[in-house]
Amino acid sequence: MPTDSHHAHLHTLTDRHLLDVEQAAVHLGTPVRFIRRLIAERRIRFYKVGRYVRLDRQDLDAFIAEGAVEAWGVRPGRR
């Protein structure tokens, strides 16, 4: 018999915003081939739903954040 924690776990899984590869590419503004390469190289978390691959929007956003490069700002004497 399922427990309350089991139902809570299922609820959190269904709250995910899972995207297919094409949707993930649109979300990142990249070609589909880039997303497929990230998956093949295991550079991003993905989920197998049967034979289908899905990516969580939060994981995509975290991937973007990891690639953030801080601005140096303007150095004195330069424009």
Task: Give residue limits of the domains in the chain.
Answer: 16-66
**Which residues, in sequence order, are CB contacts of 50 under 8 Å at separation 6+?**
none
**Which residues, in sequence order, are CB contacts of 47 under 8 Å at separation 6+?**
18, 53, 54, 55, 56
The tens-digit pLDDT sequence of the chain (79 residues) is: 556 665 555 555 567 899 999 999 999 999 999 999 999 999 999 999 999 999 999 999 999 999 999 998 877 765 5
